[in-house]
Amino acid sequence: RIGDAGMAALAPALARCRALRRLDLNGNMLFAEGGRCLASVLPRCSSLLHLDLRGNHIADQGVTALAQALVQSNGRLRYLDLSRVAMTDEGAGSMAAALDTCRCMTHLKVGGNRIAAAGAGKIAQSVTRFNVLEELDLSGMAAGGAALVIPALPMCNAVAKLDLSGCMMGDEAARELSCVLRECDELASLDLSGNDLSDSGAAALASAVPRCRGLVLLRLNDNRISEVGAARMAEEL
């Protein structure tokens, strides 16, 4: 756990690592200053493709600095994990604007943050431009925010893994999701655990899941689905 002081010491060395392709700093007790320090050298890491900052409390200030660095990096990054970094709508908006330059992004993880409708709407607009996005983690997003992302999913036609766990979307969102799932041809893994789904939501999903021919993993734990809803899904499957 290097902390902000350790990040300040490490940054000059990172700037000289022109061949560095993967940087994993998850759980290192970085705060906003650490995020800004890393951002100051990222544009010089010209080969970096994979950045993992999950579990660091860099907050909106650190996320905004990183977003500006991504723009300066000309969209090289392929994998970005900003899960559980204390990001709110403000940081999500800054990152969404930067992601417009990252058209080759294949993995985007922003779960476990405090993103509501305003930030989610901007992220939804950005991800529709990712033709090669394979994994999208929006877990823990506010219910209204998750609902804004659902209509954008068919345009993310390469997504194979989608995590919407803990969004508390409810049955209405499940019905909306069931309509778009039929257009998600590449989807192989869908996590809807912890979404306050009842038998009504399960019935809506039951009609759509069989049409997702590539789906191999569906998580529905920690919902309110009874044996009636389970039976309905079993009939459809």
Q: How many CB atoms lie within 10 A of CB 225?
A: 20
Runs of H (alpha helix) within 32-81: 32-41, 59-72
Note the pTM of the prediction, 2 decimals. Answer: 0.94
Dump the DSSP string for 94-110: HHHHHHTT-TT--EEE-
Report yes or no: 184 and 218 within 8 Å, Cβ to Cβ. Answer: no
The model's pLDDT over 94-104, given as tens digits with 9 standing for 90+, comes to: 999 998 888 88
* Beta-ladder partners of 172: none
Beta strand pairing call for 22-24 and 50-52: parallel
Two tokens, residue 153: 């999913």
The model's pLDDT over 153-204, given as tens digits with 9 standing for 90+, comes to: 888 888 999 999 999 999 999 999 999 988 888 999 999 999 999 999 999 9
> How far is it, in rounded angstroms, from Cα 149 to Cα 164?
10
